[in-house]
Amino acid sequence: MTTLPATDFLGAVVTVQVERPMGSKHPQHGFTYPFNYGYVAGVLGLDGEELDAYVLGVYEPLERFRAECIAVIHRLDDNDDKLVVVPPGKDFTDEQILALTDFQERFFQPVVLR
């Protein structure tokens, strides 16, 4: 596996393997995922785990999704960056990204990188 900074994927097309489809519950913390969440297979983030990704702008549960990374959520107090991946033609402001991911990111100090 390759370890790369999440920012290397800005503007790139990536394939996200969805491990927590929209509407599923987190196995430990019990919250519900309002959108699809997964990882980029074969790529390790700086935390040593596969690089995580939020899939925004798709409103049905998925198993896999291939599209562009428009942003990275970088946690100032953690080493677990997240890609933000959207369908072609979709875009979200930094504020929208932070609001949509607040269900999980509120426990950290996130910033959006472009």
| CATH number of the domain where residue 7 is located | 3.90.80.10
**What is the rounded CA–CA span in Å between residue 49 and residue 43?**
8
pLDDT of 31 reads 87
What pLDDT sits at residue 3?
81
Domain count for the chain, please give it.
1
Give the range of the structural domain holding residue 97, as residue numbers without chain letter: 2-113
How does pLDDT run across 24-50, given as a tens digit for each residue? Answer: 999 898 889 999 999 999 999 888 899
Q: What are phi and psi of 59, to 5 degrees?
A: -115, 40
- Write out residues in the chain with pLDDT < 50, as ranges: none
For residue 59, count other CB atoms closer than 10 A to its CB.
9
What is the structure's pLDDT at 64?
98
Specify the pLDDT at position 2. Answer: 82
